[in-house]
Structure 1
Amino acid sequence: MSRPGRKPKPTLQVVREGNPGHRPVRDGVTLPPTALKEPDWPEWFAGDDDETTYARDTAAELWRRTAPTLSRSMGLVNEQGEVLTDYCVTWARIVQGERSLTRDGVLVESGRADRGRVKNPWTTVLNQYRSHMRSLAGELGLTPSAASRLVRPPVDGGEDDPFD
């Protein structure tokens, strides 16, 4: 059952941003640092056709671009990698859908003589993927609004600094 009110910030985020209200910080579960392991993209995108290969390459490129940054800045570890994998797969599907819309158009033949042209199903699917993408990007701190809430940690050069 969820609690009413704001979603609590992760402990590492409170450390990074500071605690101006001096509220008690709950010690959350601290996962040991483990390297993020890139998924086996052919398992996620089965097939050898050009569209599948392009989607696989798109997901892999986004992973390689974002994984090192999220690992360093947010402490994302391999056990939490499914969120990043889902983010990459969602982005690849959005690209795949946009390519289909460009190729086939917003209106397509329905396949039934009495219906004529109908809205391309990708338009509905893309709206759902984009909504999911926004929630994942917020979870990972990748939206401009989420990034604006992040504050650079103070640099004191101490040995205890978790951001070294």
Structure 2
Amino acid sequence: MTLAKPIDQHKREGTYRPDRHSDRLALSPSDLTEPDWSTVIGDGPGADKVKADASDIWSRIVPALSAATRITDAQREVVVSFCTAQARMWEAERFISRDGLLVVGANNVLVKNPATTVVNTYAGILRAARVELGLSPSAAARITVTALSEDDGMDDVWD
């Protein structure tokens, strides 16, 4: 899967063609606003730790994403989903560490800890979000980022 070049990169390289490149959605760059994690995650047992984890993940990845991909506030929901999924996965991992991979189920029979199912579910969500955001090494290698030259002003990038 090859990621398409941004339109402004085509313009800088002289490869822009209106018949091929004008149909793309172009969003103006803007700062991502961190959500109120209480409204995203809610309250309940362990919620404060999950909120703190999600906020920590947000503060670590958003500056890099903003600089590298020009992600906008209009696209922030995938970042919110990523942060929430990672925080929930860590919560499930804490349950597994506390209770073990096997727990006593009905009839005193050992069964797989239900938290392992949660980990597997969130692993899939995270895998997809990492590709979308360019956070895995292979996805990051496919993203083309070009620095603006001194002649390129941000005023005309979105024209």
Q: For the superposition of Structure 1 and Structure 2, which TM-score range results when normalised by the shorter chain?
A: 0.7 to 0.9
Q: Determine which of 110, 118, 121 is the counterpart of 2:114.
A: 121
- Structure 2 alignment gaps of length 5 or more: none
Structure 1 residue runs of 4 or more that deviate by more than 3 Å after TM superposition: 22-25
* Matching residue of 2:124: 131
Size of the alignment, in residue pairs?
151
Equivalent position amino acid for 2:133 in 1: L
Q: Which of the two has greater helix per residue?
A: 2
Task: Tell me the TM-score normalised to structure 1 length.
Answer: 0.79
- Structure 1 alignment gaps of length 5 or more: 1-5
- After TM superposition, the structure 1 = structure 2 runs for residues 1-164 of structure 1, keeping only pairs within 5 Å, are 9=4, 11=6, 15=9, 24=17, 25-27=20-22, 28-47=24-43, 49=45, 51-110=46-105, 112-113=106-107, 116-153=109-146, 156-160=149-153
* Matching residue of 1:3: none
Query: Tell me, what secondary structure is at the counterpart of 1:108?
Result: strand
C-alpha separation in 2, matches of 1:122 and 1:130: 12
Shift of 1:48: 5.4
Equivalent position amino acid for 1:121 in 2: P
C-alpha separation in 1, matches of 2:16 and 2:70: 22
Identity of aligned residues (%): 30
C-alpha separation in 2, matches of 1:146 and 1:76: 15
C-alpha separation in 2, matches of 1:107 and 1:121: 9
Query: Tell me, what secondary structure is at the counterpart of 2:4?
Result: coil
Task: Tell me the TM-score normalised to structure 2 length.
Answer: 0.81
Query: Tell me, what secondary structure is at the counterpart of 1:97?
Result: helix
